[in-house]
Structure 1
Amino acid sequence: MIRAYRKDGSADVILPDPSYGEISDTVLWLDLINPSREEELFVEQRLGIPLPTRDELKDIEPSSRLYVEDDALYMTAPLIYRADTDLPLLTDVAFILHKDRLITVRYAEPKAFNLFIQALARGYGRKHTGAVLACRLLEAVVDRTAEVLETLAGRLDNLSLTVFVDRKAAKRRAPRFLEGKLLDIASHHQLVSKVRDSLVSLSRLVAFLQSQPMVRSDAESAELCNLLLRDLQSLGEHAAFIANNITFMLDASLGLISLEQNAIIKIFSIASVVFLPPTLVASVYGMNFKFMPELDWHFGYPLALFAMLVSAVLPFLFFRWKGWL
């Protein structure tokens, strides 16, 4: 689908009709969403520039994501989407600036685009140029990334309270409680890793955009690029802080699991201490020797039981007094 956004705030869908004339100069932004090859060729013929295909976006090398060709500025960056689900993903989005017009090619629906489109419907971009519109769109992407990190930080706080603070609940929880929390930690780590990958690419993209003459000559777009770089730097530091917290929680959770396993082994150790001496007494009196004077004792059986009881209690008390249990 090809959606066109004009300077007056209107928007419509352009169909790849061969009889369609030139794309009007009033179109400020062409947004190609899951475009077919027919739609890509239609835009290429009308604008006179090549567009990256879906396979090219996937196969493009990180060092070749930013370049200038045929008076057009090509920039590609992976953006986070489906961040609110258990399976967050990255999608490569192409940003192209050509003759004061922004063209985007994407094969997913990052939430930042929908938020920015809603802002355009309220007249947000009527006085913008293509470069400024690109900066504003990147600003929406950065704001959405910041929202994802804030949500992730809140989830980590709740997870930390559940795992480390609520000790009363910890005594009542199932033995595999912490193993289940490891899956949550892994999910959070996957999300923050993808966010950090996206932030690194966005930082390179904005720095490249800032170095272009069309941006340096425009005060508004140059100032927006400076703000974006500062925001990206702070978000990168925040994402690193969250990643360190996730690593700490992972290590601490594994430590707690080890403690629970040690407690289980400790129970078996106590059982061994309690039952091993009585087993020894029972083994002695269970031997089938012909001459055993205790066999003729009237109180031999009660005395043997008493010896078993004493041999169980005394080692237990001694180990407890030494602090080994």
Structure 2
Amino acid sequence: MGKEPISGDFPEDIIWIDLITPTLEEEHLVEARIGIPLPTPEELKDIEPSSRLYVEHDAIYMTASLLYRTESTYPLLSDVAFILSRGRLITIRYAEPKSFALFSASLLRMNGQCDTGAKLLGHLLETIIDRTAEILETLAARLDALSITIFVNRKAAKRRPPRFLEDKLLDIASHHQLVSKLRDSLVSLSRLVVFLQSQPIVRREEEAAELCSIVARDIQSLGEHAAFVGTNITFMLDASLGLINVEQNAIIKIFSIASVVFLPPTLVASIYGMNFDFMPELAWNLGYPLALFAMLLSAIIPFLFFRWKGWL
């Protein structure tokens, strides 16, 4: 029914009622028309399996968590209710996952394939899984691009702006949040499909049962792929932290070597800064140039030694 206010009667042969952020008045009106109670927003958020998947008043109540705002920095999960009652599908949602818009657009191309609520739900779940697969593929592509950006050659790394890797940690955290919510969504969908397959109304309809089997296999495959992507994100996070430590150690090494290189000249300068009465070099005409040469030579020798050792 979209976002339009609900009023009056609706046809008895309608097989899908889609409630988007319904008001209390609209919920009562639909309850009166279909003859079963609808879950409240608080009930949708309940994580107990007995509260998300149950049969009551000859109606099948199911709740799953779906992703939305996946293109934004902060993707979110929204609990969506799926109710099968008397050959009709009722969905209640307080967000607008893209999968619903895609499914609504594809209904005209199905040519009457969704003539029952169970078949309609099967095709809707199939679209939701297809959308989830698309999100996962997009995420994998972004991770590949991010990996190329982080793991570059040393010449390119030297041209990086300050705090480059620290900024990339925020991107990795954003990707991790998305894949984590995606896996939560797949778990809830898996439980829903398993519960749905056990219902007589689905077992009696061959097409609906086949759709549920396909969706169950797809969920399993996507779960494995999501776990693989999550492992890659963990590796990228550990590797990025390792590179940050390497860069910080390189900076500390430079300061350490600089202090060692300038230590011998400091020693020479401190010797000739002593106030002794008998220091023959102070009376030499070349005493000052020789002192400078000694300080320069004492700095060059450690530097060349470090280069020979490969510490620079």
Query: Deviations along 1:214-234, whole A, 9 cap, x unmatched?
Result: 001111011111101100000
| 1:87 CA drift (Å) | 1.1
> Following the alignment from structure 1 to structure 2, what is the Cα–Cα distance between the partners of residues 165 and 319?
27
For 2:6 and 2:311, the matched residues in 1 are separated by 80
| 1: CA distance, partners of 2:139 / 2:153 | 20
Q: Does 1:295 align with 2:282?
A: yes
Gaps of 5+ in 1: 4-12
Q: Which amino acid aligns with 2:281?
A: E
Aligned partner of 1:259: which letter?
V
CA distance in 1, matches of 2:185, 2:117: 23
Question: What's 1:82 paired with?
Answer: 69
Please state if 1:188 is matched with 2:175: yes
User: Per the alignment, do residues 166 and 298 of structure 1 end up closer, same or farther by CA in structure 2, a change over 3 Å counting?
Assistant: closer
Q: Distance in 2 between matches of 1:127 and 1:205?
A: 20
Taking only aligned residues, the RMSD between alpha carbons, in angstroms, comes to 1.6
Choose from 211, 214, 220 the match for 1:233. 220
The within-5 A match list for 1:134-283 is 134-165=121-152, 167-283=154-270
Q: CA deviation at 1:179?
A: 0.9
Aligned-residue offset at 1:289: 2.6
- State the aligned residue count: 312
Aligned to 1:312: 299
- Measure the CA separation in 1 of the matches of 2:124 and 2:109: 15
| 1:50 correspondence with 2:53 | no
Distance 1:168 1:103 in 2: 59
Tell whether 2:47 aligns with 1:64: no
Question: Is the CA contact 1:125–1:133 (under 8 Å) kept in the aligned structure 2?
Answer: no
TM-score calculated relative to the size of structure 1? 0.92
Amino acid at match of 1:252: A
The alignment partner of 2:230 has SS state of: helix
- Please give the alpha-carbon distance, in whole angstroms, between the structure 2 residues aligned to 1:216 and 1:289: 106
Distance 1:111 1:124, change over 3 A: farther
Shift of 1:314: 1.1
Counterpart residue number, 1:24: 11
Query: TM-score when scaled to structure 2?
Result: 0.95
Q: Are 1:93 and 2:80 matched, yes or no? A: yes
Taking the aligned partners of 1:183 and 1:276, their CA distance within structure 2 comes to: 41
Contact kept? 1:101, 1:130, Cα under 8 Å: yes
**Partner letter of residue 120 of structure 1?**
L
Please tell me whether the aligned partners of residues 60 and 84 of structure 2 are also in contact (alpha carbons under 8 angstroms). Answer: yes
List gaps (5 residues or longer) in structure 2. Answer: none
Whole-Å Cα distance in 1 between the matches of residues 270 and 42 of structure 2?
A: 77
CA contact (8 A) 1:74 1:96 kept: yes
Q: Return closer, same or farther for 1:266/1:154 CA change in 2, 3 Å cut-off.
A: same
Q: Which runs of 4+ in 1 moved over 3 A?
A: 13-17, 121-127, 165-168
Q: Give the match's secondary structure for 1:25.
A: coil
What is aligned with 1:6?
Answer: none
Q: Which amino acid aligns with 2:194?
A: A
TM-superposed deviation, 1:63 = 4.5
- Decide which moves more: 123-132 or 86-95: 123-132
SS in 1 for 2:81: strand
User: Does residue 105 of structure 2 align to residue 131 of structure 1?
Assistant: no
Q: Deviations over 1:120-143 (max 9, x none)?
A: 234555542100101110111000
Range moving further from structure 2, 167-176 or 231-240: 167-176
The percent of aligned pairs where both chains have the same amino acid is 71
Letter in 2 for 1:103: I
Aligned partners of 2:259 and 2:4: how far apart in 1?
80
